[in-house]
Amino acid sequence: MEEKILLAGASGALGLEVLKLLHQQGKKVRALVHSADGVEKVSNFTDDVWRADASEGNEVIKDITKDISIVISTLGKSVSLFTNRGKSFMENDFYANSNILDDAVKNNVKRFIYVSIKGAEKALEYEVAKSHKMVEDALEASGLDYTIIRPVGFFSGLNDLAIMAKRKVIPIVGDGNARTNSIHQKDLAKVVVKYLNEGPDLIEVGGPLVHTRREMADMIAEKIGGKVIPVPEKVAEWGMFLPEMVDDNISAKLKYFKFVTTNDMIGEKHGDITFEEYLESLDLEKDLP
């Protein structure tokens, strides 16, 4: 029987790029998404689509891995400050992924690739990290063959700053000297697909160029406008620069945002799309609300 892959989170910023690559390679894919929008995004690339809230329990995704040999999970709640509402990272990401993992073990899936996050080892301090680390630990203990990919921030994740730039302010937390090699989600998708059949247990992945946060903020200002404003670390945690946001999850996101923007976040270099090229490709009206 031809091999089939379950791609959880197939409609996300990263998931959709993975789906397109698998489709180009002629692979058979089952896609798991959450929303009606998600169904629409993936339906050009596969007709085997499951729509469910995988965090709701084993029953709603029962046998989603039947006849599946490899699972890829890019499923996770958005870390964007502008898309929110709903369950916490633990309630959503941990339960959804561990329900999929349980089903995979039950159905003798061969291999599981999990997209986690750079900084997951800081599980005790940050909820975003904790939900990923708990899935990592469950995967390691599952007995399945696996690869855990911990990426630095995606370029799409930096759209938050671009949206703020449209509102004339680009906050940088602290002195802006922390460095990172953010990666285009298309380049990251290539890494995910490269490890489809085998790969390291754990790899931290970044993009081709290392920049300071200040340099990235300056590039955004040059392309979009807005003023780069340094925000003291404590103030950043309180979300003073986003007064309209009152959601429960915002504090978890802001804490992680502060952590990643004030510490060096550098992964193994992959891909070739630069942040400058990404900014050039953005359609300010269509891509940024």
Residues at the site binding ligand NAP, with contacts judged by CB under 6 A:
9-15, 32-35, 38, 52-55, 74-79, 92, 96, 115, 117, 151, 153-154, 157
Tell the smallest beta-carbon distance from residue 119 to ligand NAP (Å): 9
Please say which residue, 75 or 236, places its beta carbon nearer to ligand NAP. 75
Please say which residue, 200 or 232, places its beta carbon nearer to ligand NAP. 200
Q: What is the 3-state secondary structure (H, E, C) of the chain?
A: CCCEEEEECCCCHHHHHHHHHHHHCCCEEEEEECCHHHHHHHCCCCCEEEECCHHHCCHHHCCCCCCCCEEEECCCCCCCCCCCCCCCHHHHHHHHHHHHHHHHHHCCCCEEEEECCCCHHHCCCCHHHHHHHHHHHHHHHCCCEEEEEEECCEHHHHHHHHHHHHCCEEEEECCCCCEECCECHHHHHHHHHHCCCCCCCEEEEECCCCEEHHHHHHHHHHHHCCEEEEECHHHHHHCCCCCCCCCCCHHHHHHHHHHHHHCCECCEECCCCCHHHHHHHCCCCCCCC
Tell the smallest beta-carbon distance from residue 86 to ligand NAP (Å): 9
Q: Which residue is nearest to ligand NAP (CB)?
A: 76
Please say which residue, 11 or 69, places its beta carbon nearer to ligand NAP. 11
Please say which residue, 76 or 226, places its beta carbon nearer to ligand NAP. 76
Tell the smallest beta-carbon distance from residue 1 to ligand NAP (Å): 26
Tell the smallest beta-carbon distance from residue 77 to ligand NAP (Å): 6
Distance CA 64, CA 55 (A): 13
Tell the smallest beta-carbon distance from residue 249 to ligand NAP (Å): 13
Please say which residue, 57 or 232, places its beta carbon nearer to ligand NAP. 57
Tell the smallest beta-carbon distance from residue 262 to ligand NAP (Å): 16
Distance CA 71, CA 196 (A): 9
Please say which residue, 79 or 165, places its beta carbon nearer to ligand NAP. 79
Please say which residue, 16 or 196, places its beta carbon nearer to ligand NAP. 16
Tell the smallest beta-carbon distance from residue 110 to ligand NAP (Å): 22
